[in-house]
Structure 1
């Protein structure tokens, strides 16, 4: 059987047991404007607000029909409900946010000649989680994604996967992810300029909001950095400012010279570790340090973990451990865009800090991170434009349902 035949068989098997789930139709807004069905996969929930805001600004009369997903259930997989929704709501296009490919919804749209836009997609060219055998599921996913009128992916890996799945280049774009828009942390410019003059020419790196459990790893990494460059400087912001004095004593006992911001001491040339007054001046240190390690990501201490877009927006290359916690989505966006350095364990931190002395490598990571952290509004606009372009097309002739 051909690949297309296997895909059609997979689709038939997938839909066969999903009729008559009993879910209620979503609300269909009244009005004379065009209707657009919006399906949001759980992993793309953070993008929904920005995209819908852009859509409604560009097309105030748009009637947006949200087809909700719930834990373990998706109304867009019920062929009977989808048929009723498409017939009663009379949408002119569909927008899918996320990597889910709801088979019943896509098949119903194709049957009626409706364009479907897939956006904010993070794709794997392999199988998926649709409950079929891997071969049939993979073939079905390929067939479903090839039916999209436009596919907007978040990263290069997803773009490559889409190409391998047969998406035509003319229908494929990589605008990046929709990200939170966050105001950059501020600092006093006069303070930044004075500190920058003091640090001129030194390899400085910053440990942000460091919990006690990660102090050993960070200090060991800095000792390794000092063996490569005796002028290396660690700027350390303990999560608990009350630990500054104890840390200073411990660092001095290990043979490294330290200074404390709490005592109005400066990071002079002989200082090897500079202890800040906690997390009160992060905007200053992110600007000064070419490399920032984000505390809590090695030990999983997520109580006060900082948002990864803080250093990203201020030009600091980012290093993080495997415990991404409540900012897992943002870390995934940065990692997939080659915008952060991931270390799997404490022992790898020293190697990462040593490698991140290359200005070219630091600049590449920092630029990619800045692009991810600041590009959310532009990406949301591109998604809205693609959806409205699909909406403006004349629907193709309705196909027979025989």
Structure 2
């Protein structure tokens, strides 16, 4: 019943959805040049051949699917990737292989979904995480297209919420022929909510190649930094920048030449962060303004440069883990051999965090004072820092086997596509 009401409402509210999208565009949250894609209008022709459609909501999800994209292209399949945010579209323009296609996912209105599917006619759909759009998934299934959930994610909080609408979520999950959870807990929650053939084969985020960087820019920054002690606060959120600044103020008393690099999760906040730190009396330099690291704090408010700074900094603190709940991906700096620190609020990585702690690949800090202690200990003891970096590298390399297992699970559907003329 809820499914039917949703379908009717999404059909009748077309004018309201258009107004909503126009307001998002005015706030910079939609691409005006590709706005029609959100209404299912294709931005290019469908390529001939067998086409696999992968969908990811935003940046992190789309990055985790890139290894799958490479494997599918290697099988001579055509690949369409959809995302829903301007930021992810810009990133896919940089990272998606040239032979793959990116489009914005259509808003979940029946007519717009039909228009999208009529044009692209996918032969297989791989849907990621928990971006469940009822009309899209129902229409894919109605057309007889195999539909597989990869990187499926259901938090304990989401489980409790969905249990109040069990019939609705069971209908949605029932469209999937296979549900691959990121973790064993995710697979079990998917099963509890009505998913079929729910398994955990590992997390594709741990199969992603190391983040890229410009070698010349890395060499340039290393020359500027020289032998100065350095640490990085990555993907920080509002409130955490002030914490990092106070940590810097404590550490610089013991390490006078210290350079603290800060990468806000949302680069557009760079000037806001700079003003906030200056109001605290901190010396602050802004990368987007063309400034280079000098004394004080360097705010790297640019897009797509985390790979650069993970290589530059031997110590990395992951944001969204002290003053904000959830955490950011600690696998990425570990993959590049950084000693990784994070706060206690890492609920987005319920399996990864215990594994890192057990192997010595990461350290949890409970508050601001603990962060001061942890960074100081690593800066003061090169042998300890070297051990922690080696442990992070070894752990990340041991965890990177999920891609092969996922491709093996997909093999029945892929072989069916291969058999077609």
Query: What's the TM-score once normalised by structure 2's chain length?
Result: 0.45
Instruction: Give the TM-score taking structure 1 as reference length.
Output: 0.48
* Structure possessing the higher relative contact order (Cα contacts under 8 Å, 6 or more residues apart): 1
